[in-house]
A and B are shown apart, each in its own frame.
Chain A
Amino acid sequence: MSNKQEASSIASSPPWAELPQEITANILQRLGTIELLESAQRVCTAWWKVCHDPTVWSVVDLKYIPFTSKEAPVLEEICRTAVDRSQGQLLQISIQYFGDKHLLNYIAHRSSQLRHLRLVKCYNRLSGALAVAAKNFPLLEELHIYFTYIAKDDLEIVGRSCPLLKSFILHAGPFDKLRFPPSEDNHKALAIASSMPELRHLALIDHNLTNEGLQAILDGCPHLESLDLRGCSCIDLEGDLGRRCRQQIVDLKHSRDSPCDCEFDYKISY
């Protein structure tokens, strides 16, 4: 290093707070939602401004973990703040183990650009709100639902409201299987088949659908490349239907395939 360079590197620390807003935003947008609100925005005025830039709020991911994370009502408040800050530019949101239909409505009325929605362990708290919300998500491409009840009629409304839907995951909860008859799952398959023609990826984990439902899906979703039917013990892939599946689907997971890389556990029944 020249003497000049040596001197300047000792004398002053680089002006991190004076970075152009776009660069700071590029860095801070990678921070978690809670850290943005509790840490980053309190560092200095420049970072406060960046944390009010909607580009930093395009992805929100919040999870309630009993005894570890903040309480559910606080997470709901944080979620609303994040949605507000996004100023309509929210692209991706994941809510786990908290939230209800009011929160979903709040998101829906402010996030028409949403591409990816993930709902985990909302159980029965959404009661029909997803169908209403979907009407505000015309650009939705991915919908991933785990342990959250959605009725077959609502599924159809979602499909029709989101013509760009390419990836749908529905991981049933154990309570669904106890409360509803097996035929409900076939009706859900029919709803998917009739309303989600652009699907490339479909996962129906731990469902009671039969070959009739599967056939309808293969007919109704001609672009399907990946199909995950783990835990669907009523499916029989031995005959012609199995053959057709293997021909049509590039990445097929049957009911008894390894549950190892499944995001959540399910009960394997034989």
Chain B
Amino acid sequence: MSSEKLLTLKTRDGEEFVLEEAMAFRSLTIKNATSNYTINNTPLPINVEINTMIKVIEYWKKHSERGISEDELMNFDKKFFKLLHNSELFDLVVAVDYLADKGLSNAACEQVLDKITGKTPQEIRDIFNINNDCTPTSLGG
């Protein structure tokens, strides 16, 4: 097998790691950044923390597996998101928006959506710890 092109990335909190370029290019942000900079082994800085990036890479790895069935992917996704704490999900939503990976972004948004669907405003505030800053006049129409 031919050797895969590798990319070195550096997270916001200073951790460096190496990733196959093909996998890293699931992020449009990374893809566009590399086209604008000469590869001289300087790590590409990305605005994501290492803990969140580990999760992203776990997702990318599974979704890049050859021969994996739709069912297996669905099961993986279910487990993957079930294990995320509220704050991990938040960090993931922000990170994936920055990385511009449409597939993972959709999946993460659907997860948040699941927590909102069928709930009253107060239930939603409780789940997401959102302050009720609405005044009667601000809910005019």
Binding site for B on A (CB under 8 A): 1, 5, 9, 13-14, 16-17, 19-20, 22-23, 26-28, 30-32, 35, 39-45, 47-48
State the majority secondary structure of interface residues on B: helix
Report A-chain residues with C-beta under 8 Å of the C-beta of B132.
43-44
Report A-chain residues with C-beta under 8 Å of the C-beta of B130.
16-17, 43-44, 47
* Cβ-defined partner of A44 (8 Å) among B85, B86, B105, B133: B133
**Smallest CB separation, B71 vs chain A (Å):** 21
Q: How many residues of B contact A (CB 8 A)?
A: 31
**Smallest CB separation, A26 vs chain B (Å):** 5
Report B-chain residues with C-beta under 8 Å of the C-beta of A9.
85, 87
Known interface pairs A17-B131, A20-B97, A27-B113. Does A44 touch B125 (Cβ–Cβ under 8 Å)? yes
| A1 and chain B: residue at smallest CB distance | B51
Q: Tell me, yes or no, whether B94 is within 8 Å of chain A by CB.
A: yes
Report A-chain residues with C-beta under 8 Å of the C-beta of B116.
27-28, 31, 35, 39-40
Report B-chain residues with C-beta under 8 Å of the C-beta of A42.
121, 134, 139
**Smallest CB separation, A179 vs chain B (Å):** 41
* Cβ-defined partner of B133 (8 Å) among A16, A20, A32, A45: A45
Closest 7 CB pairs of A and B: A14-B90, A13-B129, A16-B128, A42-B121, A27-B109, A17-B130, A14-B87
Known interface pairs A16-B130, A31-B116. Does A40 touch B124 (Cβ–Cβ under 8 Å)? yes
Known interface pairs A9-B87, A27-B113, A31-B116. Does A44 touch B94 (Cβ–Cβ under 8 Å)? no
Report B-chain residues with C-beta under 8 Å of the C-beta of A40.
116, 121, 124
Report A-chain residues with C-beta under 8 Å of the C-beta of B129.
13-14, 16
Q: CB within 8 Å of A: which of B98-140?
A: 105, 109-110, 112-113, 116-121, 124-125, 128-134, 138-139
* Cβ-defined partner of A27 (8 Å) among B85, B86, B112, B118: B112
Q: CB within 8 Å of A: which of B48-97?
A: 51, 85-87, 90-91, 93-94, 97
| B125 and chain A: residue at smallest CB distance | A43
Q: CB within 8 Å of A: which of B18-61?
A: 51
Report B-chain residues with C-beta under 8 Å of the C-beta of A43.
121, 124-125, 130, 132, 134
A14–B115 Cα gap in the complex (Å)?
15
A83–B44 Cα gap in the complex (Å)?
45
User: B131 touching A44 by the CB < 8 A rule?
Assistant: yes
User: B90 touching A26 by the CB < 8 A rule?
Assistant: no
| A84 and chain B: residue at smallest CB distance | B141
A14–B90 Cα gap in the complex (Å)?
7
User: B97 touching A23 by the CB < 8 A rule?
Assistant: yes
Among A9, A13, A14, A26, chain B packs the most CB atoms within 10 A around the CB of A14
| B121 and chain A: residue at smallest CB distance | A42
**Smallest CB separation, A268 vs chain B (Å):** 33
| B118 and chain A: residue at smallest CB distance | A35
30 A–B contacts, CB within 8 A, in A order? A13-B87, A14-B90, A16-B90, A16-B128, A17-B128, A17-B131, A19-B94, A23-B97, A26-B109, A27-B112, A28-B116, A30-B109, A30-B110, A32-B117, A35-B118, A39-B116, A39-B119, A40-B116, A40-B124, A42-B139, A43-B121, A43-B124, A43-B125, A43-B130, A44-B125, A44-B130, A44-B132, A45-B138, A47-B130, A48-B134
* Cβ-defined partner of A13 (8 Å) among B86, B124, B138: B86
User: A14 touching B51 by the CB < 8 A rule?
Assistant: no
Report A-chain residues with C-beta under 8 Å of the C-beta of B97.
20, 22-23, 26
A30–B115 Cα gap in the complex (Å)?
12
* Cβ-defined partner of A5 (8 Å) among B51, B105, B118, B120: B51
